[in-house]
Amino acid sequence: MKKILFVMLSVLIFALACGERPAEDISADEGNDEAAATEEYVLPEADEYLILSDSIGIEMGDSNYVFGQIAGADISPKGEIAILDMQKSCMSIFSPSGEFLQRIGRQGSGPGEFLLPVGMAFFPGEEGIVISEFTVTDSLEPGAAVSDAMGGKLIYFNSEMEYMMDVQGFYPSPPGAIAGVNNGAIVGMKPEFLQNEEGMFMGFTISRWEMGEVEASVVYFESMSPFDPSDLSSMQDDIPIFGATSEGIVFTAQLSTEVYEFTVWSPEGDELFTVTDENYVRVRKTQEEIDIETEMVNNRMIQQGMPESMANWQPDPYRSAIGGLWVDGLDRIWVTKATTLTPSYTVYDMEGNILFTAALDAGERASTWQTVIKGNRFLAFDTDPEFYPQVFIGDLPGTEKTDTEEVGLY
């Protein structure tokens, strides 16, 4: 049961990229919806466009540039690019210009090894971080953390990317999607599971964990629902999306096709404000989108060891309103609009005022891409690549270009 839970949790995290929820009947005369049944690729109108300038990844050749299955990408405070490979069970570090530097981790259950890595995060560069007294290390500065769903732990590395410690004891799993904030703390999305005389319940929290701690110090979002292992699609209403600044300001939204809304929280868990788009209109998925999503998620379940009889994910016929929350180096909040085939964004200031709109100019191929926005750059990768996995790189509008060896992100 424990292994099945881990598989389910990693698949649900993966499903965030697809914006899916359980199928429902669609009435032909439903109002306030936009049909996309015959939609062809059209670059969304926007004030600014994100342009791809480089990429990392090849189909064959140097193994340092050949990826198995990309689980995530991130940018370090030095501007280095990290790519988490779920299939190879490692994190590869590249220079800002894309040159391979080092590989972190390998398949295994020992110190610094991964069984099923599903998320990673870098910490802001700080001085004087002291790790909890129960650890075997002294005052080393944390550099990065990796979430190992199957191993049930967070693995910490110092600023030189050397192994520091494992933190274990999370139930049923450590936070999967994670962000590193000040003082070595983690903000992340953690699956929750409860079984009592009333049945089985499962859901998610968005919380903050101080460095080395298993119990959350702050909970920003929580949702629990009855759990049916044969129907993971029914849990889509509970899946949250989040982002965080290096200072610990947290942004949360639910994966919803009904409303466009996100909330901003102080590090201590006080609600600062909520932004809602009253003019939001639902957009139906094309049949091709539904077919692709069904195949992607069900294949992922089977690949990770779930019985084929349980792989019965059913996509929602509507696109989600929000697909991601990011903050760049100018404290601009980037909200991914999941209603368009290619990634597009509404960008806000830290008071919730709209600054401009943006879209990723990458052609039709970008319809299944995830983007990461950080500092003055963005990364993008295809969750279901047609040929081979790659991570694409580009600069954000309105940010000054700096020497690639001295990119400051915090």
Residue 135 in this model has a pLDDT that exceeds 70? no
The residue whose two tokens read 């990796």 is 146
At 27-67, the pLDDT tens digits run: 333 445 655 544 567 788 999 999 999 999 999 999 999 99
- Cα→Cα distances 123→145, 156, 180, 192, 256, Å: 8, 10, 5, 25, 30
Q: Angle at CA 384, nearest 5°, toward 380 and 388?
A: 80
Please tell me the predicted confidence (pLDDT) of residue 12.
54
| Per-residue pLDDT, 91 | 97
* Residue 231 pLDDT > 70: no
For residues 361 and 376, give the distance between their C-alpha atoms in angstroms, rounded to a whole number: 17
Q: Is 342 or 163 the better-scoring residue by pLDDT?
A: 163
Angle at 100 between CA 98 and CA 103, to 5 degrees: 130
- pLDDT on residue 43: 85
Q: List the single range of 48-52, 137-141, 281-285 with lowest mean pLDDT.
A: 137-141
pTM: 0.84
Question: Could you tell me the domains of the chain?
Answer: 2-395 (2.120.10.30)
The C-alpha atoms of residue 250 and residue 179 are separated, in whole angstroms, by 10
